[in-house]
Homo-oligomer: A and B are copies of this chain.
Amino acid sequence: MTLRKLRAARRNSAVGADDALQSAGSRDERKQRTRRALLDAALELMQGERSFSSVSLREVTRSAGVVPAAFYRHFTGMEELGLALVDDSFKTLRRSMREARAAALPATHLIRRSVETFLGYAQTHRRHFQFIAKERFGGSSVIRFAVRKEVHLFTSELSTDLARFPLAGKISTEDLQMIAGLVVQTVLMATEVFLDMPQNDPEDAAQLYQQTEKQLRLIFIGAQGWRSKGAGRG
């Protein structure tokens, strides 16, 4: 009894100042807020060392400031949360991509600018990008395939983008997809290495920027020399 009251009192006083933050908004807004908290917690726990499959449900709730049972009000289990993270992550990836495209439009040093903007976004949305990189090959197959599906979609987008370039005349749609795959692969790889570097070593970062830029340039040189069977023969 005394114990119960005491705990309740502690809770109230602890919340106290945050009250405006904690209990603001409609019921639905608050639900979304703890949902966010769960997603954020999961991402945060993965930082650096751990993979998604090694993060426990209880850890997530603990880190989100919620009791374990509350988890089930939002997800049926960790896998569903994982899929939600895939969604979120690719939303930011696509947003980054769009902005990188816009920034690169002047087309002088197009490749360099694209790499710079993209890796810049990767840095600001570090956790999302790292999540994608980690779960692309590791962990459960359902999450892995969800990631792969999104990467494929993303590749297709880039492929239609590439089709607008003048040199694309000799290249079949299928081969454009193949080339886009190479580009995406290269950039994603670079992104993961980049995010995994000791954060205050601009030396290595610059080297990676340069190498990635070169690799993309080489790919485009290759594309220029490419001639698909049966395409552009006329």
**Which residues of A from 168 to 201 have beta carbons under 8 Å from B?**
175, 178-179, 181-182, 185-186, 189, 192-193, 196
The contact string, 1 if C-beta is below 8 Å from chain B, for chain A 41-54, is 00000001111011
From the candidates B138, B141, B219, name the one contacting A138 in the complex (CB within 8 A): B138
Which residues of the other chain, B, contact A211 by a CB distance below 8 angstroms? 178, 181
Residues 23-62 of chain A, each 1 if its beta carbon lies under 8 Å from chain B, else 0: 0000000000000000000000000111101100000000
- Docked complex: A110-164 residues within 8 A CB-CB of B: 133-141, 144, 148
Residues of B within 8 A of A185 (CB): 185-186, 189
Which chain B positions have C-beta within 8 A of A139? 49-51, 54, 138
Is B182 within 8 A of A186, CB to CB? yes
CB pair A196–B144 under 8 Å, yes or no, is: yes
Bound complex: CA A181 to CA B208 (Å) = 12
Q: Is A14 an interface residue (CB 8 A)?
A: no
| Interface flags, A202-234, vs B, CB<8A=1, else 0 | 000000000100110011111111100000000
**A137–B131 Cα gap in the complex (Å)?**
10
B49, A50: Cβ atoms under 8 Å? no
Measured CB to CB, the nearest residue on chain B to A136 is: B137
Given the contacts A185-B189, A221-B225, A223-B218, A51 and B53 also touching, CB distance less than 8 Å: yes
Quick one: which of B53, B133, B137, B193 contacts A50, CB cutoff 8 A? B53
In-complex Cβ contact of A222 among B178, B193, B225 (8 A): B225
Residues of B close to A178: CB separation below 8 A: 211, 214-215, 218
Distance between A191 CB and nearest chain B CB, rounded to angstroms: 10
Beyond A134-B138, A138-B139, A139-B138, whether A218 also contacts B226 by CB under 8 A is: yes
Q: Which residue of B lies closest to A134 (CB)?
A: B138
Q: How far is the CB of A77 from chain B (nearest CB, A)?
A: 14
For the complex, what is the distance from the CA of A127 to the CA of B51, rounded to whole Å?
Answer: 19
Quote the shortest CB–CB distance from A85 to chain B (angstroms). Answer: 14
B225 touches A51 (CB 8 A): no
Extra inter-chain contacts (6) besides given A51-B51, A138-B139, A221-B222, CB under 8 Å: A48-B141, A50-B139, A175-B214, A182-B219, A222-B223, A222-B225
